[in-house]
A and B are shown apart, each in its own frame.
Chain A
Amino acid sequence: MAELDLKSAINAISDVIENRPRSLREFDQIYMKAGDMVMQSEFVARWSDGKRLSFIGDGDAISVCVAYLKKRGIINYGPSQITVFDFDERIVSAVKRFADREALENLGSELYNCLDVFAGPNDFDCFYTNPPWGASNDGESVKVFMQRGMEATSYRGEGMVVIADDPDLTWPKRVLAKVQQFGIENGFFVQKMMPWLHSYHLDDAPDLRSCNLIFKAVSDEVKIFDSSAIDAKDRLENFYGKENAPRVRYVREKKTLGYGKAHDDEYSLELLES
């Protein structure tokens, strides 16, 4: 960590940020700030070194940063394989586009809504999720994303859950307790908690931070399980905030020419007089 070339790392993260679609607040897409992405990506790469890593939702594009920092030689460790599962086709395509352009062979992405059956693969060693934080549902939305992460590892791996943490507010503490309890009920224990770490482009709570909550399975035996769709009303009714149950299976990308360029309807050209 001490040897991280900060300038190169920030410039690499900046390439990733350029490639990210704009966030949709309605689905809790709230992007992490650049400085925190640098530190988080380095940490995730170290944590998952040599392992197969799945991301359950990744608007932040930590997955891409992790793969790219290694490819650029800014760090010399990182996961052997990364797959992003997200229900937003714009995010899925952004990952693919970046992986293609930079020849990141070990980075892939799949369109997947975590309310649907998780069809695998189930042989990941670890999972990472930064889910909807569950202020209005006592962490139920966190548990849904985490469940899919645990399924991706067949309940025998490790997981990093990135959720709200605040010294003053009550709801993040309630969610943290529920989520830890959920992990324990599913055969995991909390290996590490890194409190009050990351900031976000979150204008309704600019000071709210998130923590890394790291789980590890008690047993390293593969668990046989059936993945099933999640449709219980009490798990869904406040999924994206109070009284905001999911209604969308996928966010579809409208294909445009010139991805990432300013939209034609944002400006007009006033010519120099000749």
Chain B
Amino acid sequence: MGNLIVPGQGVLFMKVGTHARESLEDIIERKTREIEESSFALWGYGGSTCHPQTMVQPFARDYHRQGGRIYLVMEPMESKHFAEPVRADELSVDGIKWEPIPKPINVKGSRYALVIQNLRKEEFDLPLDRTEVALGNSMGAPGGKYINGRVDKACLRILDEHHGPDRRVHIGLVADIVEPFAVYVRNKID
């Protein structure tokens, strides 16, 4: 199903690590339980290519104001790395006001998290050369060139046509990004 690939649509692309210990199905099941209990789940991530406040929130708000939304689209890959198993216990939308993360929700080993619903398995190709970076310091950079060894996540907008060779990545996991879109998370400070 490739119906997200329409000109103008915004997507947040990242990779998702699967381990021998937890398959894609396990992840979906665990997160779906959190969504059922709390109406949303948090999807932890790091790095600052998709900073919650300067990137994801303004990007998502643009679509939200027009009655749309952005989607999290993920390319599954085998990973040998396990996240530090420290559960974050507070979240903040603006980095100033902090509140406890509801008990059923687990987010581990990261500083930022996306607020998601409707996590699902969906398989399609994302044509990176038909996207561009939507905002921030790399605004306007072609997605196919931008996503490389050093950069593995991006806020992308789908374009009308290809620029350059037709580089594709295979998406296997999709979620809706819902208000407040992205948050900071941390361990409680006493």
In the assembled complex, A3 has its CB within 8 A of some CB on chain B: no
Whether B57 lies near A170 (C-beta < 8 A) is: no
Contact between chains at A241 and B54 (CB < 8 Å)? yes
Residues of A within 8 A of B137 (CB): 133, 135, 164, 202, 204-205, 208
Q: Are B140 and A171 closer than 8 Å at their CB atoms?
A: yes
Interface string of B19-57 (1 = CB under 8 A from A): 000000000000000000000000000011111011101
Cα of A206 to Cα of B148 in the assembled complex, Å:
11
Which of B50, B59, B140, B151 is A169 in contact with, Cβ under 8 Å?
B140
Contact B139 A203 (CB under 8 A): no
- Nearest B-chain residue to A206, judged by Cβ: B150
How far apart are the CA atoms of A247 and B150 in the complex, in Å? 32
Roughly how many angstroms separate A247 CA and B96 CA in the complex, as a whole number?
10
B135 touches A136 (CB 8 A): yes
CA distance A164 to B55 in the complex (A): 18
- Which residues of chain A are within 8 angstroms of B68 by Cβ–Cβ distance? none
Q: Is B58 an interface residue (CB 8 A)?
A: yes
Contacts A240-B54, A242-B54 hold; do A204 and B139 have CB atoms under 8 A apart?
A: no
B141 at the interface (CB under 8 A from A): yes
Q: How far is the CB of B114 from chain A (nearest CB, A)?
A: 16
Choice from A170, A206, A240, A241 contacting B140 with Cβ under 8 Å: A170
CB of A28 to closest CB in B, whole Å: 9
A27 nearest CB neighbor, chain B only: B54
Partner of B47, one of A168, A203, A205: A203
A204 near B58: Cβ-Cβ < 8 Å? no
B95 within 8 Å of A by Cβ?
yes
Q: Kindly state the separation between the CA atoms of A208 and B140 in the bound complex, as whole angstroms.
A: 13
- The answer on a CB contact under 8 Å between B140 and A26 is no
- Beta-carbon contact of B151 and A26 below 8 Å: no
0/1 per residue, A221-251, Cβ < 8 Å to B?
0000000000000000000111110010000
Least CB separation from B154: chain A residue? A204
A204 B140 Cβ-Cβ under 8 A: no
Tell me which of B48, B141, B150 contacts A168 (CB under 8 A): B141
User: Is there an interface contact between B53 and A244, defined as CB atoms closer than 8 Å?
Assistant: yes
CB distance from A267 to the nearest CB of B (A): 13
Q: Establish whether residues A203 and B55, one from each chain, have CB atoms under 8 Å apart when the complex forms.
A: no
- By a CB distance below 8 angstroms, the chain B residues around A136 are 135-136, 139
Quote the shortest CB–CB distance from A94 to chain B (angstroms).
22
| B residues near A169, Cβ cutoff 8 Å | 138-141
A25 proximal to B (CB < 8 A): yes
In the bound complex, what is the Cα–Cα distance between A171 and B141 (angstroms)? 10
Chain B residues with CB below 8 A from A244, complex form: 53-54, 58
- With CB as the reference atom, state the residue of chain A lying closest to B150: A206
Q: How far is the CA of A136 from the CA of B133 in the complex (A)?
A: 13
Say yes or no: A204-B53 contact (C-beta < 8 A), given A133-B137, A169-B140, A242-B58. no
Is B120 part of the contact surface with A, judged by Cβ < 8 Å?
Answer: no
The answer to whether B61 has its CB under 8 Å from any CB of chain A is yes
Q: In the assembly, what is the distance between CA of A149 and CA of B51, in Å?
A: 29
**Contact status B141-A204, CB under 8 Å:** no
Q: How far is the CB of A162 from chain B (nearest CB, A)?
A: 14
Give the CA-CA distance A242 to B95 in the complex, in Å. Answer: 16
Is the CB–CB distance between B57 and A205 below 8 Å? no
Q: Which of A135, A170, A203, A243 contacts B48 (CB 8 A)?
A: A203
Query: Are A204 and B95 CB-contacts (below 8 A) given A135-B137, A136-B135?
Result: no
Interface on A for B, CB 8 Å cutoff?
25-26, 133, 135-136, 164, 168-171, 202-206, 208, 240-244, 247
Q: Give me the interface of B with A, judged by CB distance under 8 Å.
A: 47-51, 53-55, 57-59, 61, 94-96, 135-141, 150-151
- Identify 13 residue pairs between A and B in the complex whose beta-carbon atoms are under 8 Å apart, listed by A's number: A25-B48, A164-B137, A169-B139, A169-B140, A170-B140, A205-B141, A208-B138, A240-B54, A241-B55, A242-B135, A243-B58, A244-B53, A247-B94
- Shortest beta-carbon contacts, A-B, top 4: A241-B54, A204-B49, A205-B137, A242-B58
